[in-house]
């Protein structure tokens, strides 16, 4: 579908990747409803791209219901919001786990369920779910994060088939390591030598490509990481052994430490 003149709901707009997606969609002529928890950042971005800001905490179910009422007639949902959700299971409280599951998985499912009937009736629409390569392969100290990203990927591919007969597209976007924004950049994690990264603009371009071409999956990562994720799906035990030898445990520990105050 074309983005020109379309109305788009973008969650998680206040982060660096959210900013890049918002700017990319606005440049395509889309009208944006932007959501996030930081009102000052949200208002500034909305003014920049000519969008409408709606403060929203996706952990609060009343906020989700209010948001779906305000965005009932959107053409596109881009579910980008997520909590880092890093850390070993035994280091997390149940309250932290519940919040991670609520924001990362339940909220996008709830938004999709609320917005799908309108798209079906109009026989027009698209939904994009921002998962991660962690939705294909897991690493240490990421059990809850991977659970949400595996789940989001499975949900997206499932409803893609449900909505296809109604003219509504669904895509899942799977970023790898993103520089300058996102959870690895925010935690200031040093990646092993030779591990390739992509930019927030690459994520934005992937979202646009997913919508305009109705792609089922779009991976935002170098070829080596994409092949590694595919290999891990086929041989998880061997892939984990290789990953450990490449320093995955240190990266995971650094990431969890850098994100501890964001749980």
Please tell me whether residue 128 adopts helix, strand or coil conformation. Answer: strand
The pTM of this model reads 0.90
Give the CA-trace dihedral at 195, 176, 23, 29, to 10 degrees: 130
Q: How far is CA 215 from CA 6, 173, 177, 211, 248, in A?
A: 18, 9, 21, 7, 30
> Kind of pairing, strands 76-79 and 52-55?
unpaired
The pLDDT value recorded for residue 92 is 92
Cα distance between residue 180 and residue 172, in whole Å: 22
Q: Is 126 left (phi over 0), alpha (psi -120 to 50) or beta?
A: beta
Angle at 23 between CA 159 and CA 50, to 5 degrees: 100
Cα distance between residue 170 and residue 125, in whole Å: 9
Question: pLDDT by residue (tens digit) across 125-140?
Answer: 999 999 999 888 877 7
Cα distance between residue 226 and residue 236, in whole Å: 14
Please tell me whether residue 64 adopts helix, strand or coil conformation. Answer: helix
Question: pLDDT by residue (tens digit) across 15-74?
Answer: 999 999 999 999 999 999 999 999 889 999 999 999 999 999 999 999 999 999 999 999
The pLDDT value recorded for residue 140 is 79
Tally of residues, the chain:
263
Q: Are 56 and 71 in contact (CB under 8 A)?
A: no
Q: Are 142 and 91 in contact (CB under 8 A)?
A: no
Known catalytic residue at 145: yes
Please tell me whether residue 218 adopts helix, strand or coil conformation. Answer: strand
Query: How many C-beta atoms surround the C-beta of residue 2 within 10 A?
Result: 11
Which of 106, 63, 110 is CA-nearest to residue 83?
A: 106
* pLDDT for 8 beyond 70: yes
The tokens describing 228, both together, are: 């590694």
Cα distance between residue 259 and residue 144, in whole Å: 14
Q: Which domains does the chain have, with CATH numbers?
A: 7-262 (3.40.50.720)
* pLDDT for 246 beyond 70: no
The pLDDT value recorded for residue 112 is 98
Which of 103, 119, 145, 159 is catalytic? The answer is 145
Cα distance between residue 185 and residue 190, in whole Å: 9
Q: How far is CA 210 from CA 3, 157, 216, 241, in A?
A: 11, 13, 7, 33
Q: How far is CA 262 from CA 86, 176, 192, in A?
A: 10, 20, 24
Query: How much of the chain, in percent, has pLDDT values that exceed 90?
Result: 67
The pLDDT value recorded for residue 194 is 66
User: Quick one: pLDDT band at residue 261, thresholds 50, 70, 90?
Assistant: low
Q: Are 186 and 164 in contact (CB under 8 A)?
A: no
* pLDDT for 150 beyond 70: yes
The pLDDT value recorded for residue 2 is 87
- For residue 103, give the DSSP letter: I
Averaged confidence pLDDT in the chain = 89
User: Quick one: pLDDT band at residue 235, thresholds 50, 70, 90?
Assistant: confident
Mean pLDDT computed over 82-96:
89
The pLDDT value recorded for residue 141 is 82
């Amino acid at each position: 579908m074309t983005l020109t003149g379309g109305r788009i709901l973008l969650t998680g707009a206040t982060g660096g990747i959210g900013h890049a997606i918002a700017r990319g969609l606005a440049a395509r002529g889309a009208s944006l409803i932007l959501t996030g928890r930081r009102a000052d950042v949200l208002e500034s971005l909305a003014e920049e791209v000519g969008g409408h800001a709606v403060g929203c905490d996706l952990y609060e179910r009343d906020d989700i219901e209010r948001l779906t009422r305000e965005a009932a007639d959107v053409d596109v949902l881009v579910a980008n919001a997520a909590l880092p959700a890093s850390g070993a299971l035994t280091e997390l409280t149940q309250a932290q786990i519940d919040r991670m599951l609520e924001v990362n998985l339940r909220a996008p499912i709830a938004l999709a369920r609320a917005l799908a009937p309108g798209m079906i009736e109009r026989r027009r629409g698209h939904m994009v779910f921002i998962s991660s390569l962690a939705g294909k392969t897991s690493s240490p100290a990421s059990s809850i994060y991977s659970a949400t990203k595996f789940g989001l990927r499975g949900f997206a591919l499932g409803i893609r088939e449900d909505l296809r007969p109604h003219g509504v597209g669904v895509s899942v976007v799977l970023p790898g390591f993103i520089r300058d924004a996102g959870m690895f950049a925010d935690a200031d994690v040093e990646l092993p030598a030779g591990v390739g990264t992509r930019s927030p603009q690459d994520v934005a371009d992937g979202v646009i490509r997913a919508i305009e071409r109705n792609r089922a999956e779009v991976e935002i990562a170098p070829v080596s990481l994409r092949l590694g994720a595919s290999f891990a799906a086929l041989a998880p035990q061997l892939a984990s052994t290789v990953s450990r030898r490449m320093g995955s445990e240190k990266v995971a520990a650094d990431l969890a430490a850098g994100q501890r105050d964001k749980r």
